[in-house]
């Protein structure tokens, strides 16, 4: 069983998708801790509901980013986690932290990267007039919203879409892609080759 820490900052719908898939018989990963940088978010309730240990590492209680990350690192190491999944975690991580977790730190982003990095992703997509968008699960590297891509899924952008409608459609695909990516990683099928990943066939 691959031990996973999920880092959150908000409602935690992707966390829920990971909780649900980990509850399936024979799923090769388990969530050992959920860590939030913001107290009282709904994601923490979801974790508690699933009997998963939670920790709040409130960034506001630390003098700087390094001190915050030292506490974050300690909480993760204490949990025994081997992989970190960022699921709506709204803090930028330093290169030092990211490099320490190289190829063991995963994020989900609501666009088809490398298009539309950063914030206001759906507004960016609508502004650009793309006819498809989607989501990306990728390994985290120091550059924001970059790194080897593990899973992507596309969804149509409809003429009637506003940012909320597009976000809702993409969120549904996020809830498929994150569990799928976690399974691939836990099965040892994701190999990082330079800036890309190679997905291996399942063992017979």
The Cα 65–Cα 22 span in angstroms is 31
- 114: preceding bond cis by omega (within 30 degrees): yes
- Of 87 and 149, the one with the shorter C-beta distance to ligand GRF is 87
87 interacts with ligand GRF by CB under 6 A: yes
Candidate residues 4, 44, 88, 125; the one interacting with ligand GRF per rule CB under 6 A: 88
Candidate residues 2, 4, 14, 75; the one interacting with ligand GRF per rule CB under 6 A: 14
Candidate residues 2, 6, 7, 12; the one interacting with ligand GRF per rule CB under 6 A: 12
Task: Report in angstroms how near the CB of residue 200 gets to ligand GRF at its nearest.
Answer: 26
Task: Report in angstroms how near the CB of residue 90 gets to ligand GRF at its nearest.
Answer: 8
Long-range CB pairs of 51-59, under 8 A, 24+ apart, other chains included: 52/19, 53/79, 59/91
Q: Catalytic site residue 138?
A: no
Candidate residues 13, 146, 154, 180; the one interacting with ligand GRF per rule CB under 6 A: 13
DSSP H or E run through 70: helix 65-79
- Residue 152's nearest CA partner among 171, 131, 167, 138 is 138
Report 89-128 residues binding ligand GRF (CB under 6 A).
Answer: 108-110
- Of 120 and 196, the one with the shorter C-beta distance to ligand GRF is 120
Q: Are β-strands 132-139 and 105-109 bridged in parallel, bridged antiparallel, or unpaired?
A: antiparallel
Report 143-172 residues binding ligand GRF (CB under 6 A).
Answer: 171
Q: If you count DSSP H runs as helices and E runs as strands, how many of each does the chain have, helices first? A: 6, 9
Active site residues: 109
């Amino acid at each position: 069983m691959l031990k996973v820490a999920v880092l959150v900052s908000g409602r935690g719908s992707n966390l829920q998708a990971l909780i649900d898939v980990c509850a399936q018989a024979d799923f090769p990963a388990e969530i050992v801790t959920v860590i939030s940088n913001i107290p009282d978010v709904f994601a923490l309730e979801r974790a508690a509901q699933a009997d998963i240990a939670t920790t709040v590492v409130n960034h506001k209680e630390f003098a700087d980013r390094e001190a915050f990350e030292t506490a974050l690192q300690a909480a993760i190491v204490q949990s025994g986690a081997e992989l970190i999944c960022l699921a709506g975690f709204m803090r930028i991580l330093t290169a030092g932290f990211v490099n320490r977790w190289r190829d063991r730190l995963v994020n989900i982003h609501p666009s088809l990267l490398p298009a539309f990095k950063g914030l206001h992703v759906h507004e960016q997509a609508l502004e650009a007039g793309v006819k498809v968008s989607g989501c990306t699960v990728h390994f985290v590297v120091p550059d924001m919203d970059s790194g080897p891509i593990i899973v992507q899924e596309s969804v149509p952008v409809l003429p009637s879409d506003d940012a909320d409608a597009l976000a809702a459609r993409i969120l549904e695909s996020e809830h498929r892609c994150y569990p799928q990516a976690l399974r691939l990683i836990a099965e040892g099928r994701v190999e990082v080759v330079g800036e890309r990943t190679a997905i291996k066939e399942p063992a017979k």
